[in-house]
Amino acid sequence: MKLPSIVDSFDALKELDAPLHLAIGVFDGVHLGHKAVIEPAVLTSQKSGGVSAVLTFDPHPSRLFRQEDPTRLILPISVKTSMLQSIGVDIVIRKHFDRAYASTPAADFLIDLKKALPTLAAVYVGSNFRFGENRVGNVQTLIESGQLLGLDIFGVDRIHYDGVPISSTRIRKELVQGSMATVNSLLGYNYRTTGSVITGEGLGSRIGFPTLNLDWKPECEPRHGVYCVRFHSMDSDTWIYGVANYGVRPTVADSESPLLEVHALKGTGVEAGEIIIVEWLNFLRAEQKFPSLKALSKQIASDCAKARIYAKND
């Protein structure tokens, strides 16, 4: 049968006739720790003629249990889905997470999964995975249930970086601090932004540094400041290096809503309305207010010089 690549319910997979290898988790960021859980499901399914899938949840569980301060996501669900597909996952199951599902007794969790997904053969989770009502279920609970159901259960140890476990929480903290090199090391890829180019005020062009302004409103905001970046349009795979400012532009506007502006180190041909993908490579400096546009222009020239050195060595 032709497999759907994205589903929002288990019903869409009832006709599946191949062994299903399922990785379960929120997987916000799809970082190196997540890949350590997901990739064995992908590889084993490929070797055995099965199908790999990821069961993830939308909205994030914190929106139910910490409504006053929910987790701010690293990636929107659409980008997370694309990232999961890029590492070889056949099917992404985006399960609606509500109080009814959250109240499932831990003892019933795997039984219900097997009923909903009859060809389920193996489950892959992180060693710190918790599930069921009041989050009382853990990997040992899964193993015990799996033995009764004839399922293979794999609890994957956490991956460490600089002696500390990699986690989405850690990445969010580094992102807010502007530690982009560390963020990228933890993710295993360059932090990226996808957005539509919008028409700006043209101030950058007037001071000699035209910018592409992006329509982008992240949940987890990077530190306001200037970054070395590279980008390409959806119609091209050629990377163009540049300098990006993310913030409220205190010298010229001091706006309430932050804006992402990207200045290319060489011409782009990109126009308003086009969608571009921006990869954030390194933090250059904090956003600051300059006494004049001349002083701002001089600093941007210095930022570009640093970005050129980075691009040359990248």
- Structural domain range at position 266: 190-313
CATH of the domain at 62: 3.40.50.620
Are 17 and 152 within one domain?
A: yes
**pLDDT tens digits along 223-274:** 999 999 999 998 888 999 999 999 998 888 777 789 999 999 988 778 889 9
Pairing of strands 91-96, 51-58: parallel
* Same-domain pairing of 217 and 99: no
Per-residue pLDDT averaged across 33-53, rounded? 98
Confidence of residue 18 (pLDDT cuts 50, 70, 90): very high
Three-state secondary-structure class, residue 125: strand
In a shared domain, residues 48 and 118: yes
Residue 172 lies in a domain: no
Residue-level pLDDT at 48: 95
Q: Based on the domain organization, do 101 and 207 belong to the same domain?
A: no
Query: Is residue 175 situated within a structural domain?
Result: no
- Number of structural domains in the chain: 2
Domain final residue, candidates 146, 164, 182: 164
Instruction: Report the C-alpha gap between 135 and 130 in whole angstroms.
Output: 5
In whole angstroms, how far apart are CA 177 and each of 33, 129, 187, 222, 299?
21, 27, 16, 7, 21
Is residue 221 within 8 A of residue 248, CB to CB? The reply is no
Percentage of the chain exceeding pLDDT 70 = 99
- Asked whether residue 173 is domain-assigned, the answer is no
Q: Give the mean pLDDT of the chain.
A: 94
Least confident of 127-136, 214-223, 267-276: 267-276
**In a shared domain, residues 140 and 272:** no
130 in a structural domain:
yes
200 or 262: which carries more pLDDT confidence?
262
DSSP letter for each residue of 17-36:
-S-EEEEES--TT--HHHHH
60 assigned to some structural domain: yes
pTM for this predicted structure: 0.93
Is position 171 within any domain? no
Question: Other CB atoms closer than 10 Å to residue 104's CB: what's the count?
Answer: 16
Segment among 56-65, 109-118, 218-227 with least mean pLDDT? 56-65
Kindly state whether residues 78 and 200 are assigned to the same domain.
no
The answer on 160 and 23 residing in a single domain is yes
Question: What pLDDT score does 40 carry?
Answer: 98
Residue 63's pLDDT is: 82
Q: What is the pLDDT of residue 1?
A: 58
Task: Give the pLDDT confidence of 259-273 residue by residue, as tens digits.
Answer: 999 999 988 778 889
User: Are residues 49 and 154 both part of a single domain?
Assistant: yes
The pLDDT tens digits of the residues spanning 149-196 come to 999 999 999 999 999 999 999 999 999 999 999 999 999 999 999 999
